[in-house]
Amino acid sequence: MIEIIIYVFLGIGVFFNLLASFGLIRFPDVYTRLHAGTKCTTFGSIFLSLAVIMYGLRLWYLEGFNSGNSVLVIHTIIALICILVTNPTGAHAIARAAHRSGVMPAKAVVDDLKDDRKKGRGRKKK
């Protein structure tokens, strides 16, 4: 039973990670590529980590409380928390740097940030 859950989680994770790299190829500019590259890899990594956590819990249950398998579970949870916190922050930093270095969104309907910076009301550089 638990093996089927692990297979399903691995399948979902791999599908979204492949989707992220295809989106990286297909989208037209930096910001839309960030959409694909951030959301899909985070979601795929969550499901891959959940599969590994399930696998570790099953080993921990089968081999007893004092076997070394608790390390697999707990360290995977810590790696998952690291991914969840750092990934959106990195995407935010790249988007801000791209807009300040002059890469404008392609086919944009509205751009409040550009207008504000022209008027001099945007945040000043330190």
Partner 1 sequence: MIDAFMLTLVLLIISIVISLIRVVFGPTVPDRVVGLDTINTLVIASMVIFGAASKEVIYIDVAIVYALLSFVSTLFIAKYLEGGRF
Partner 2 sequence: MKKFIVATVIGFLVYLLLTTSSGNDFFIWSYSEIVVGIIFAIIVGIIVRNVFIKDNFRMLNPVRWLVLLVYLIGPFFISMARANLDVAYRVITGRINPGIVKIDPKLKTDLGVTMLANSITLTPGTLSVDVDEDKNQLYIHWINVKEDALKKKPRDCKYVCGGFPKWVRRIAE
Q: Work out whether 83 is an interface residue with partner 2 (CB under 8 A).
A: no
114 binds, among partner 2, partner 1, none (CB under 5 to 8 A by kind): partner 2
Q: Work out whether 109 is an interface residue with partner 2 (CB under 8 A).
A: yes
Two structure tokens written together for 99: 């807009």
Q: Work out whether 96 is an interface residue with partner 2 (CB under 8 A).
A: yes
Site for partner 2 in 19-48 (CB under 8 A): 19, 22-23, 26-28, 31-32, 34-36, 38-40, 42-43
Site for partner 1 in 28-67 (CB under 8 A): 30, 33-34, 37-38, 41-42, 44-45, 48-49, 52, 55-56
The C-alpha atoms of residue 45 and residue 86 are separated, in whole angstroms, by 13
Q: Work out whether 106 is an interface residue with partner 2 (CB under 8 A).
A: yes
Two structure tokens written together for 23: 């989106």
At residue 124, the 3 state secondary structure works out as coil
The DSSP 8-state label assigned to residue 109 in this structure reads S
- Give the residue from 104, 122, 47 showing the smallest Cα distance to 80: 47
The C-alpha atoms of residue 82 and residue 7 are separated, in whole angstroms, by 24
62 binds, among partner 2, partner 1, none (CB under 5 to 8 A by kind): none
